[in-house]
Structure 1
Amino acid sequence: MKFSIIIPALNEAQNIQGCLSALQPLRNDCELIVVDGGSTDGTPAIAEPLADQVISAPKGRARQMNAGARQATGEVLLFLHADTFLPDNAIQLIREQINRPAPWGRFDIRLSGDHFMLKVISQMMNWRSRLTGIATGDQAIFVTHEAFTAVGGYPDISLMEDIALCKALNKISPPLCLKAKVNSSGRRWLQFGLYKTILFMWSLRLRYFFGADPKTLARLYSGGHLWKP
């Protein structure tokens, strides 16, 4: 079973080398595809020697990840953020459990950092995901190429594309919720303020739930001085 790890990137010069370096031991089983959304900081040049493919796509995680999936040759697609690191046995765990019975899933998450609330937030994210069957992009969503194609891939929306994909995949089956943890940077949460970030992100989710236009949410997201959509 071959895997394709797809990494959307936009001005990730500070993170992309560390991300790809950590994935080098997996290259016997995985192809690494970086999809750049128009970086101006040299991200593609840094990624080139460490990836199997570095391609360009219109800015936007959904568009970039769909572009990567179109180029992917793996039976399983794994979507990974540039500031997130997989557990050591990630590929083995997916191989052992995928299609038994679910063709998709995600990992638990650990937000790195010293603030005690990062552990609380991580645990709440994991519990919420198990309860709802919805994963966030930083939980490293994985899915068979067949199932991804069957639901039409990521919808071409400006924000909340991970929620929309999970809702579509839930019509096939609930996700595999792997207890092994990816490590994702808590730096951005701390920069904006933990409690402000929690309230802000929940307000975006509620607006989306009640039918707000993802383009409007994306503008709010960018204007909130959080990480880029």
Structure 2
Amino acid sequence: MLSKISIVIPVLNEAHHLSKTLATLTEATGVDLIVVDGGSQDDTIAVAQSAHAKVISAPAGRAAQMNAGAAIATGEILLFLHADTQLPLSFETLIRGTLAQPRTIAGAFDLTIDAPGFGVRLVEWGVHLRSRYLQLPYGDQAIFLPKPVFHAVGGFPDLPIMEDFELVQRLHQHGKIAIVPAPVITSGRRWQRLGVLRTTLVNQLVIGAYVLGISPDLIRRWYRSGLGRG
């Protein structure tokens, strides 16, 4: 019997992007779809319900929302998906095959950004190198892992930002994080809003600040001012 995959999607006022994401999952087999709402005021919940997803509420914040979704998941594999990110065709087969590789305890996908421009292509290239050779995927690459591994590392840390970075650091202590060569397609809205150079620079500053021990709450305030990542 194939391992069941629980897809956990944290949302907050994401009706437009969520409808596109859910439309790509209609043909998926052996999946459990969970949408975790952080207090949306638009049609997000109605969109999720129309796709026959399980809809629950949790305090706003990706870490809290994704942990809440994982807590009710019935699948043996957990896949954490952003509302503005679309999975490739046959992602179920790709995930199961990836986790069957020796020493592999988690995985993520390559990244395609839905925006034009040479600068965006450079970002994709950088993401490819970072995630493949350093085993450092971020949350917009749809991180997946067996549920027992997720619980063994304590789930997502209770942080207002950088929860994906910290989870990956914990996973490194237990095994390999593999990168699926097929890409997810994520919205280009961040790069289009701030510009490629500014977005890339701020991303690196945020990561550096976190590594240096600056308060995640302060980093999050930078993000809310339009200076943060994801």
Whether 2:219 is the aligned partner of 1:210: answer no
CA deviations 1:84-116 (Å, max 9, x no partner) are 111102110111221422121111101111112
Stretch of structure 1 that moved more, 153-162 or 105-114: 105-114
Provide TM-score, normalisation by structure 1.
0.95
Secondary structure in structure 1 of the residue aligned to 2:16: coil
**Alpha-carbon displacement from aligned partner over 1:193-223 (angstroms, at most 9, x marks no partner):** 1111111111101101111111111110111
AA matched with 2:9: I
Aligned with 1:127 (options 126, 129, 140): 129
Residue 138 of structure 1 aligns to which amino acid in structure 2? D
**1:156 alignment partner, SS class:** coil
| 1-structure distance, mates of 2:47, 2:179 | 33
Question: Is the CA contact 1:188–1:226 (under 8 Å) kept in the aligned structure 2?
Answer: no
Q: Are 1:9 and 1:36, in contact at CA under 8 Å, matched by a contact in 2?
A: yes
Conserved in 2, the CA contact under 8 Å of 1:108 and 1:179?
A: yes
Question: Cα deviation per residue 1:7-46 (whole Å; 9 max; x = unaligned)?
Answer: 00011011111111111111x3101100001111121122
Q: Aligned equivalents of 1:186 and 1:16: distance in 2?
A: 15
Residue 77 of structure 1: aligned partner: 78
Q: Which secondary structure state, in structure 2, belongs to the residue aligned with residue 175 of structure 1?
A: strand
CA 1:166/1:225 → structure 2, altered by over 3 Å: closer, same or farther? closer
Could you say what secondary structure the match of 2:75 adopts? coil
* Structure 2 gap ranges (5+): none
Letter in 2 for 1:71: I
**Displacement after TM superposition at 1:168 (Å):** 0.7
Q: Which residue of 1 aligns with 2:27?
A: 25
Q: Equivalences for 1:57-96 in 2 at 5 Å?
A: 57-96=58-97
Q: Which residue of 1 aligns with 2:57?
A: 56
Contact 1:3 1:76 in 2 (8 A): yes
Cα distance in 1, alignment partners of residues 10 and 43 from structure 2: 14
In structure 2, what residue type is equivalent to 1:125? V
Return the alpha-carbon distance in structure 1 between the equivalents of residues 97 and 107 of structure 2.
Answer: 12
Structure 1 vs Structure 2: percent identity of aligned residues?
Answer: 42
Displacement after TM superposition at 1:188 (Å): 2.1
**Matched ranges for 1:1-229 at <5 A:** 1-26=3-28, 28-101=29-102, 102-224=104-226
Instruction: Give the deviation of 1:191 after TM superposition.
Output: 1.4
- Counterpart contact for 1:33–1:51, Cα < 8 Å: no
How many aligned residue pairs are there? 227
Distance 2:186 2:59 in 1: 25
Do the aligned residues in 2 keep the contact of 1:9 with 1:82 (CA within 8 Å)?
A: yes
